[in-house]
Amino acid sequence: MEKQKLSPKSIINIIRAITAIFILLICILSPLAFFLAYFMLKDSVNATTEFFLRWTCASILTVTIGLLFQLSSALMGANNFPGKKCTPVILVGAISQSLIMTYLFATYQPGPDQMSRIYMLSWILSTTIIHTLWVWGYDFENTPYETISQSIGINFAQLSKLIMPLSAFGASILWITIAALMVRQ
């Protein structure tokens, strides 16, 4: 039998597939590691560390869910999964904003009434980030957005160019609002 040699193009595709699987495993296993750290250290950590672990875990989980939605859309043929290129940067950003929020929490110690508003806005922020990551690079063809664009009389391609920046802008405003609630006495 003759041995078949792999072409350079197939080697590149194999490397891309392994890289994508590695990144997805990091996305899926990172929140699990933070959850385990939280539950193992829950009794022996202070409120600031607990806040960091919760916020970081929620941030990574939010990014993971958004990217998994985007991957499922890519598998159904709706887009080409542009998130695979920027996933490590997005995860570093999620952990960085967790550090900023923890610093604000430790420095300003918001009251219980502020914390309830912060947690409520955090859930809305998580949903907005999931939506932002999901629609990033999305085509909107054969989706509810296509129906919405037809009902208001614009092309769905124009709507897709509008939805992503609006969703990202909304997430930014929510994050700034949460940070402002942290520092307001």
pLDDT over 70 for what percent of the chain? 82
Residue 1 lies in a domain: no
Would 104 be classed as within a structural domain?
A: yes
With tokens 């595709």, the residue in question is: 13
Range 176-184 average pLDDT: 86
- Tell whether 118 is covered by a domain: yes
146 belongs to a structural domain: yes
pLDDT higher at 9 or 168: 168
Name the pTM for this structure: 0.71
Query: Which domain, by its residues, includes 143?
Result: 8-183
Q: Is residue 40 one of the residues assigned to a domain?
A: yes
Between vectors from CA 122 to CA 116 and to CA 125, what angle results, nearest 5°? Answer: 150
Task: Examine residue 2 and state whether it is found in any structural domain, yes or no.
Answer: no
Tally of domains in the chain: 1
Distance CA 131, CA 125 (A): 10
Residue 126 covered by a domain: yes
Q: How far is CA 119 from CA 58, 61, 78, 174, 175, in A?
A: 11, 16, 33, 12, 12
Residue found by looking up tokens 């890519």 in the block? 74
Mean per-residue pLDDT over the chain, rounded: 78
Q: What pLDDT score does 81 carry?
A: 63
Helix axes 8-41, 47-75, angle to 10 degrees: 150
119, 140, 2: which is closest to 55 by C-alpha? 119
Residues whose CB is less than 8 angstroms from the CB of residue 155 and which lie 6 or more positions away in sequence, other chains included: 149
